[in-house]
Amino acid sequence: MRNRLKVLRAERNWSQADLAERLDVSRQSVNAIETGKYDPSLPLAFKIAVLFGQAIEQIFFTDEAAQAAE
Amino acid sequence: MVAATHSPQTKRRKLYRNLMLAALASLVALSLAYRVSTFPMQWPLTLVLIACAVLAVVQFNALDEVAKQAHYVAWYWGAMSALLAILIIAVAVETGPASQIEGLLTPWLSGATKQTIFLTGLLTAPALMLVGFGGWWLAFWLRRR
């Protein structure tokens, strides 16, 4: 899975720690999700989507979809 | 930049972690005191052990999902690896030459009571499982830095 978390975070000028606080997770968890090394659960994905005001599929997408877009 | 203040959940996690560290430090201190003191330490030790068990549950429930996943993965693979190592050691001890095994154990357990030998055997398994857990836990986070 890939995601646009880093871009969305940068647009708001939030650090990983800021985002972690808003999501009630640790900074390490945000980093793991952001770098694609951990796929969040559906509840956490929804929480991220609500926080950024976007649909889940606008934030998270498969490797195939990312390659097709490139 | 709009910095987020520490959420109540983050504060709770830090509190539980610090309480757990304090409880573990107390456990070590009481265990060492047990060796030198004539005071009956079994009750304070039991109480601290119960506190550790309760705190472990509370602390685990407060972890975020990635930290919980790290614990699941580390406990499954770490403990399984340790159990496999224990079984290999058990087979080696059972089938290996008795003189070599006795030679290895004598410096460690010469003069030990049967109770000490029993407890050593009993606690070796969870100790190895904890080592396995620690290794896999560390690997989980290093791979996700």
Residues B45 and A24: their CA atoms lie apart, in Å, by 35
The single-letter code of the amino acid at B55 is L
Q: What angle do CA A47, A52, A57 make, to 5 degrees?
A: 75
Q: What is the dihedral of CA A31, A18, A54, A42, to 10 degrees?
A: 50
Interface list for chain B against chain A, based on CB atoms closer than 8 Å: 1-7, 9-10, 13, 64-67, 69, 141, 143-145
Give pLDDT tens digits along chain B (145 positions).
445 567 788 888 899 999 999 999 999 999 888 888 888 888 889 999 999 999 999 999 999 999 999 999 999 999 999 999 999 888 888 887 767 777 777 887 888 888 988 998 899 899 999 999 999 999 999 988 7
> Is there a contact between A37 and A58 (Cβ–Cβ < 8 Å)?
no
Residues B132 and B68: their CA atoms lie apart, in Å, by 17
Looking at beta carbons, which residues of chain A come within 8 Å of B141?
28
**How high is the pLDDT of residue B7?**
78
Helices B65-73 & B114-143 angle (0-180, nearest 10):
130
Looking at beta carbons, which residues of chain A come within 8 Å of B66?
25-26, 28-29, 32-33, 38
Indicate yes or no: CB of B4 within 8 angstroms of CB of A22. Answer: yes
**Which of A18, A29, A47 is most worth mutating to test chain B (most B CB atoms within 10 A of its CB)?**
A29
**How high is the pLDDT of residue B5?**
65
Residue A66 tokens, joined: 């990312």
Q: Between B10, B13, B144, which is nearest A32 by CB?
A: B144
Residue B21 tokens, joined: 């560290």
**How high is the pLDDT of residue B4?**
56
List of chain A residues with pLDDT < 70 = none
Residue of chain A nearest B143, judged by CA positions: A37
